[in-house]
Amino acid sequence: MRKYLILVGCIIGMIQWQVFAQNKLDFKIPVTVSTQMQSNFKTGGRLLLHLTIQAEKEPRSKSELTIGVTPKDWNCQKPFLINTKDQQVMVNGFDKFKLNEPIKWYCQVVYKQNEDDGNENVAGNLYSQLDSFLVTEKPKFSLQLQTMIPALNIVNHPYVKSISIKSQMLSNFSKHERFLKASILLPSSYFENPNKSYPICYRAPGLNGRYDQVNGMLSNKDFATWWFSKEAPQVIYVFLDSQGPYGDTYQVDSDNNGPCGKALTEELIPAIEQMVHYSPNSKKRYLAGKSTGGWVSFGLQVLYPDFFDGCWSYSPDPVEFEHYGLIDIYHDSTIFYNRWGYLQPGRRTTNGEPTLSMKDWIHGENVNSRTNDYRVSGGQFGAYNAVFGPKGADGLPSLMFDPYTGVIDHNIAKQWEAYDLKKILEKNWASLGPKLQGKIWIWMGDMDGLYSNVATRYLQKFLDKTSNPKSDAIIRFTAMAGHTQEWSDKAVIEMVAAKAALVK
């Protein structure tokens, strides 16, 4: 009966929301494509109209309300009308929209058309300039897509190298060219010892992070001063890139993104290490990262235990899926409501106050996706779904849970076990345990904003009970600390250097 009531509540809530939004929101905004951009236009993309009351920000970077629609048969020669009364149009954030208050709203439209990158503000996508209107008046203007987002640039600096290689493995998988990228920050003594094999650390970015993060590191005066001082450890620091067709690839092989782990370890890393004269025989190849990068660094260490020599993982995404946040994907009926029938929270403050429900989170990703569901949203759950799940009959990722009711498909959830890091360790400890000794360091805040601390606690419980060998993994929790709160590139690099110094 409890499961029945939860499912009925999901369906009724979805219907009520749709009717309310369609009846109250009445926009008709034409979108055109400038003459200069028409040659860059690709059909089948997602139009996202962003609205905000924050005058100091571009709406596409932070908006309170987003309207999404995938135009059918739009050839860009004629305007496309975004009509909120259209059944195909989806709206996120309607509760923030005050219909009767004369507030100025700023708006901007983005066209997501880069199918090699699931994200919005990335190279190849188009966007308009800003316009504005009072909410008490219907908009009487059009928005024109007239700017294409350029490719990333890496800072021009003598101690920074960048690399971009065509991945034959990923290109064969996707049947078109795909590239792997990274940037490399060299230690201050590198040019004095150009043939020396330095310790090397691969920094996995947070969700949808890019290899241009080295730019921010060098623009940070305190870090740059320290890095080039005599006190700084002599370590090569590599910034990986997480671009993928459905969002972050998590740097692992998957049915939907392709052999990303194999491409990383057999194509990109060998090319990087040849460039910087790293000797694999030195056994000083390390991993580090926070959040998604925390999962990646720990996950790669577990999946490639001989290839990598140690990991530093901060606030990793759920490392096991019986505690996927607060959801047990193997046994719960829906991700939208917990077992007591309450809305399942997805985010919280460090005081424990829920700030976003799973239902609203997924709805936001549905709006951002050209399929009207989270599969190609480029967001957190679109990425999870593509990385951990199988490919569907239509060539897109299969849905682990229904995008509108949250009901879990347990046949698909079962297939996620291949990426459940705790289960992998449980099943293979006899062979993995010896290879992972001295290689695992994890930090987690016990008030993690995404509830990821729960999974890490259960990982620790398993590791504490291991034998033959008894795990020596270091897992540290900080009371009342939030997501990635204690992350520090400087601290990581110092720990890497200290570990490398112990290697004979």
Which of 267, 299, 448, 477 shows the shortest CA–CA distance to 384?
A: 299
The pTM for the full model equals: 0.94
Residue count of the chain: 504
pLDDT of residue 15: 42
**pLDDT tens digits along 174-213:** 999 999 999 999 999 999 998 899 999 999 999 999 999 9
CA 279 to chain centroid, in Å, comes to: 31
pLDDT band at 98 (very low <50, low <70, confident <90, very high): low
Q: Examine the pLDDT at 429 and tell me if it is beyond 90.
A: yes
Q: Which residues is 132 bridged to in the sheet? A: 106
Q: Report the run of H or E that residue 178 belongs to, with start and end.
A: none
DSSP assignment, residue 10? H
pLDDT, mean of residues 95-100:
70
pLDDT of residue 99: 63
DSSP assignment, residue 149? P
**pLDDT tens digits along 4-15:** 545 545 544 444
pLDDT of residue 95: 78
Residue type for 31, please? V
Q: Range with the lowest mean pLDDT among 52-61, 352-361, 487-496?
A: 52-61
Q: Examine the pLDDT at 61 and tell me if it is beyond 60.
A: yes
pLDDT, mean of residues 138-155:
92
Residue type for 10, please? C
Q: How many other CB atoms sit within 10 Å of the CB of residue 41? A: 18
CA 271 to chain centroid, in Å, comes to: 25
What angle in degrees, to the nearest 10, is found between the helix axes of 358-368 and 380-388? Answer: 80
pLDDT, mean of residues 445-468:
98
pLDDT band at 3 (very low <50, low <70, confident <90, very high): low
Pairing label, strands 28-33, 143-148: parallel
pLDDT of residue 17: 40
pLDDT of residue 22: 45
Q: What is the mean pLDDT of the chain?
A: 93
**pLDDT tens digits along 303-328:** 999 999 999 999 999 999 999 999 99
The answer regarding whether domain 160-320+420-501 maps to CATH 3.20.20.70 reads no
Identify how many contiguous H helices and E strands the chain contains and give both numbers: 13, 21
**Could you tell me the residue ranges of all domains in the chain?**
20-148, 160-320+420-501, 322-418
> Looking at the domain 20-148, which fold is it?
Immunoglobulin-like (2.60.40)
Answer whether 387's CB lies under 8 Å from 207's CB: no
pLDDT, mean of residues 443-465:
98
Kindly tell me the burial class for residue 285, based on how many C-beta atoms sit within 10 Å of its own C-beta (0-12, 13-18, 19 or more).
buried
Answer whether 294's CB lies under 8 Å from 269's CB: no
* Residue at token pair 């000797």: 279
